[in-house]
Amino acid sequence: MKKGKVFSGARPTGRQHIGNYLGAIRNYVALQDDYDCVYCVVDLHALTTLTDTQVLKTNTREMVLDWLAAGMDPEKSIIFVQSHVPQVTELHTILSMVTPMGWLTRLPTFKEKVRLQPDNVNYGLLGYPVLMAADITLYKADTVPVGEDQAPHLEFTREIVRRFNHHFGPTLVEPQIKLTPFPRVMGVDGVNKMSKSLDNHIELASSPEEIERRVMTMVTDPQRRYRTDPGRPEVCNVFSFHGFFSPQQIEEIEGQCRNAEIGCVECKRVLARNLAASLAPFREQRAKLAADPKLVWDILEDGASRARAVADETMAEVRARVGLP
């Protein structure tokens, strides 16, 4: 007996990095046993900010390959592409009729997007939260895993649902927030969150050599200038990574760092080795999956067909409630 139905979406950003894995993918994998999960590649959302749409297809395949290799299972979950279920755009239009403009223009995320791309303030940016509400409600999801900073977005979906149900009668499921810890994984620069656009990331599918190359550039405790200086693991980004990838050695490394018994170069080599070893099964699995050029598209096609079946049901109820002939 499952606890409920989860929906989560991610923009097609291509090959995933360690930050994506620790922040979202491992949680997606874990939820599959307790919930019916619907995982969506939100390609329509990506159009709001993307200038080069030719990369969407490649990025989708690369991201889904990483998802599958990490353990997201199409037998357990529905995995599909947002635009393959066009009903979402119809629901988006209908929900937009019950969404006051003021709600959208006041959202801090909209203001931030306007600041970031002042030359391309398109309607999609404004209507983004309505499309998100359509994503969630189309599949009757009752649970959405979000980090604390994302909770206001989901509250917005809940408000739209309440408004729709108030106007037209109880139809849409009001999703609950499942607060989930999303660790903030810093990039190798130690300054910014790990991000592809800042090129401070380590891809999950990196080779051991690439992992070592990236790890060796990582910023450490800035006050540790000489090998004989004691280090401060609590301020060191390398040490945070040891927390994820060297749990069996963490106390030893902490002591060696504080007592200057290990140099930063050696400490990074240990991390690079442990990271490469942790990711080895992932890399092997990914290579196997990637060898079949049709596999990802077959899985996404099957996912879309299962998603469409739920979407058809929801839309029949919505159209009847709204009174569309």
> Which residues contact ligand SF4 (rule: CB under 6 A)?
220-221, 224, 231, 233, 236, 238-239, 257, 262, 264, 267-268
> Closest by alpha carbon to 156, among 122, 125, 132, 121?
132
The radius of gyration of the chain from alpha carbons, rounded to an integer in Å, stands at 22
* Min CB(45)–ligand SF4 separation in Å: 38
- Annotated catalytic residue within 113, 140, 178, 268: 113
Active site residue 196: yes
Strand-pair partners of 80: 40
- Annotated catalytic residue within 3, 57, 111, 193: 193
**Computed from CA positions of residues 145, 113, 97, 325, in that sequence, does the dihedral angle turn out positive or negative?**
negative
Active site residue 193: yes
Q: Collapse the DSSP code of 186 into the 3-class scheme (helix H, G, I; strand E, B; otherwise coil) and give the result.
A: strand
Nearer to ligand SF4, 65 or 262 (CB): 262
* Min CB(57)–ligand SF4 separation in Å: 40
Whether 311 and 88 have beta carbons less than 8 Å apart is answered as yes
With vertex at residue 296, the alpha carbon angle to CA 293 and CA 298, rounded to the nearest 5 degrees, is 95
User: In the chain, which residue ranges form alpha helices assigned H by DSSP?
Assistant: 18-20, 26-31, 43-47, 56-70, 87-96, 101-106, 108-116, 123-138, 151-168, 208-216, 237-245, 250-258, 264-290, 295-322
* Min CB(275)–ligand SF4 separation in Å: 13
Active site residue 113: yes
Strand-pair partners of 189: none
Q: How far is CA 230 from CA 181, 202, 262, 263, 272, in A?
A: 32, 28, 9, 10, 22
Nearer to ligand SF4, 86 or 255 (CB): 255
What's 224's DSSP letter? -
* Min CB(231)–ligand SF4 separation in Å: 3
Nearer to ligand SF4, 36 or 221 (CB): 221
Nearer to ligand SF4, 196 or 269 (CB): 269
Could you give the CA distance from residue 192 to residue 196 in angstroms, rounded to a whole number? Answer: 11
* Min CB(23)–ligand SF4 separation in Å: 22
Look up residue 314 and give its two tokens. 């929801």
Nearer to ligand SF4, 49 or 278 (CB): 278
235: amino acid identity, one letter:
V
The torsion of the CA quartet 256, 257, 262, 266, rounded to 10 degrees, works out to: 120
* Min CB(89)–ligand SF4 separation in Å: 49
State the catalytic residues. 113, 193, 196
